[in-house]
Amino acid sequence: MRQRMMGVMFALLLFTGTMLAGGCAKEAEEPEAKDLVIDLPKEEAPGENAGDTSPGETPEEPDSEETQEPEKKGILISLDPGHQSPDVDMSAQEPNAPGSSTMKTKSTGGTSGRYSGIPEYQLNLDIALMLRDALAAQGYDVMMTREDNETAISNAERATLANEAGADFVVRIHANGSESSDANGALVLVGSAENPYVGSLYTQSYALGTTVLNSYCEATGMQNLGVQANDTMTGINWSQVPVIILEMGFMTNEQDDLNMADSSYREKMVEGIVNGINLYCEENLAGE
């Protein structure tokens, strides 16, 4: 009996050993982890489909320098392109100064290019619009007395418009003419220190005129004819802020006229005026 039981137990031990060996062999047949092949999405090389973004991914922001607005300077400049189209009737009279009994035509048609054929009112407007954009790009606030040639606005009304808007100063844009074709160069007109209407503005107007004219002539190579006092200009006499008239050149002189008609030369004209305005503001309006 005892021997029979020992035989049964020996048989059970053999059976169990066989099962364990078979299990180990089957487990060993499974592939190792390093042999697994998993299809993953192909990683894109840098620069591929740069315009595509994955869900939830924030697209790149544009260059801030391209979209950044210029810092405001807190300075308001009035630009006054002289004259307007002769189709606009400005022949009525107005006082030459507040309370003055002297009457003058509200506005005249100006001169024209003897060689270019360009009317002064068009040249003045072209330069003023370019100047507006250049100044705005540097952070200045700019107001225009006119932005087309059909605006009916008198010289006194131009000055009043700037006064009421609170302009810091006025730059009136004009071109010159002469009976002599030899006359050439640029100059600035301001009211004199003895002017009963704008005499108190003389020092600031003269400083503005000097910096603008010098910078303008330096940029363009135009002959500098200096800052000159003139008390007959309605647009000056009605002003309550520093004001200058920039006579950019003689449209009756061949070189001046053709220069002012040239697009690349006009860029120099505008650059010079902006440089002069910047210098004036740095020296007189900084910190205000």
Q: What is the pLDDT of residues 61-110, one digit of tens each?
A: 555 455 688 899 999 999 999 999 999 999 999 999 999 999 999 999 89
Cβ atoms 217, 140 nearer than 8 A: no
Average pLDDT over residues 104-125: 97
Q: What residue segments make up the domains of the chain, in order of their start? A: 73-284
Cβ atoms 142, 135 nearer than 8 A: yes
> Which residues have C-beta within 8 Å of that of residue 133, sequence separation ≥ 6?
none
Is CATH 3.40.50.300 what the domain over 73-284 is classified as, yes or no? no
For the chain, what percent of residues have pLDDT higher than 70? 76
Cβ atoms 240, 195 nearer than 8 A: no
Model pLDDT for residues 222-236, shown as the tens digit of each residue: 999 999 999 999 999
Phi-psi region of 185 (alpha: psi -120 to 50; beta: other; left: phi over 0): left
